C-alpha cells in the first residue's frame, strides 16, 4: 500500500495549493461512544501555525463531541478529495470561543471560500493542532 505522508508544518507545494482551492471537506470527530461522526464543513489550513480551523455553531454536534473529549481535546481528522487528489489533516481539536480567534477563522474562511460567513453570535472555532498530514495534491 502506498503512503503519501506530508509534514503538516511544511507540506509540498501541490499539497498546500490544494488546500487553498475551494473544496468542501469533511470533519470526523469521535462520539462519546467512540463511533465516528462525519460531517461536511469548510476548513482552512495554516501550515505555518500547524493549525486547521473549522467555524461552527457552538451548539452543534461536532462541537459537543470535541468538548466531550475533555480538556485535552479530541483526536479528529479533516479531509478533502477531488478526483485523484486528496488530502487529510489529523490532530487534536479544541473549541475556542475567544472573539479574536473566531474572527481570524472567519477571515480565513472568507479568503478560501470567497464569501464572508453571516453573523452568528453563537459561532466558535474548532482549532486542530496538526500532528499528521497525508495526501496527493
Number of Cβ within a 10 Å radius of residue 125:
25
What are the CA-CA distances from residue 82 to residues 3, 27, 61, 86, 126 (Å)?
Answer: 18, 16, 26, 6, 24
pLDDT tens by residue, the chain, 137 residues: 567 999 999 999 999 999 999 999 999 999 999 999 999 999 999 999 999 999 999 999 999 999 999 999 999 999 999 999 999 999 999 999 999 999 999 999 999 999 999 999 999 999 999 999 999 98
pTM over 0.95: yes
**Residue 137: what pLDDT?**
87
Residue 98 is placed in which grid cell?
Answer: 475567544
Integer Cα distance of 66 and 125 in angstroms? 11
**Residue 49: what pLDDT?**
98
Amino acid at each position: 500500500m502506498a503512503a503519501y505522508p506530508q509534514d503538516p508544518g511544511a507540506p509540498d507545494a501541490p499539497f498546500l495549493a490544494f488546500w487553498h482551492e475551494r473544496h468542501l471537506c469533511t470533519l470526523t470527530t469521535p462520539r462519546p461512544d467512540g463511533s465516528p461522526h462525519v460531517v461536511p464543513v469548510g476548513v482552512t489550513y495554516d501550515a505555518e501555525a500547524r493549525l486547521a480551523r473549522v467555524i461552527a455553531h457552538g451548539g452543534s454536534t461536532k462541537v459537543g463531541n470535541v468538548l466531550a473529549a475533555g480538556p485535552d481535546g479530541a483526536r479528529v481528522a479533516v479531509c478533502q478529495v477531488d478526483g485523484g487528489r486528496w488530502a487529510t489533516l489529523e490532530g487534536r481539536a479544541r473549541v475556542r470561543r475567544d472573539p479574536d480567534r473566531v474572527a481570524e477563522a472567519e477571515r480565513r474562511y472568507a479568503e478560501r471560500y470567497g464569501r464572508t460567513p453571516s453573523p452568528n453570535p453563537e459561532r466558535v472555532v474548532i482549532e486542530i493542532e496538526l500532528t499528521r498530514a497525508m495526501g496527493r495534491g
